[in-house]
Structure 1
Amino acid sequence: MYDLTGFQRDLLYTVAGLDQPHGLAIKEEMEDYYEKEVHHGRLYPNLDTIVEKGLVNKSEKDRRTNEYQLTNRGRREIEDRQKWERQYLSEEEYTDAVVSE
């Protein structure tokens, strides 16, 4: 995950957190988080990057909609990132940070 941009990392976490992650649902979540419009020209190339890196699988739901699913590797990368973060925060700070999200 060290080679992902912050935006790509946020996409990965968003895909992991949605029940049925598809392009527009991911876009809406990202716009809520960033509090501004996320253009298709930014969203989809970055989704393609995390797909190419093997962190997310992409499949066609219908002719207009792609679905995204976290891979085992993507899940491991998130877990490794969380371990890395915990080493820099006290348990209380980490718990507070996770609960406030």
Structure 2
Amino acid sequence: AVFGHCFSPYLKFEGGKGVATGAGVLAVFLPFEIICALLAWFIIGKVFKISSLASLGALIVLIATSFIFHYDMPVINTHAPIFIIAFIVVYKHIPNILRLIGKQECKVI
């Protein structure tokens, strides 16, 4: 779902950044971790007013809490799906990351 959202063949393999779609997919499997990530997204967004920074911060919180609360990851015994989604999200955010480093990323009102 995340890959299809980010690289839609109907949009010439363009698409979104995959944050909300990834959260929706993982909410089924890791609801507590998603709640922690949403709280981080909200707090970072309110403090810094930069959407991409809030999304990337929430991604870091999601990965960290997945290891804290589900180190063994029940049923599948791997964190690979989380890392695949994280890789796609970070890849789609590369222009935003470069603007963040150059302090040129736009703030949200």
TM superposition score normalised by structure 2: 0.28
Q: Per residue, is there more strand in 1 or in 2? A: 1
Q: Per residue, is there more helix in 1 or in 2? A: 2
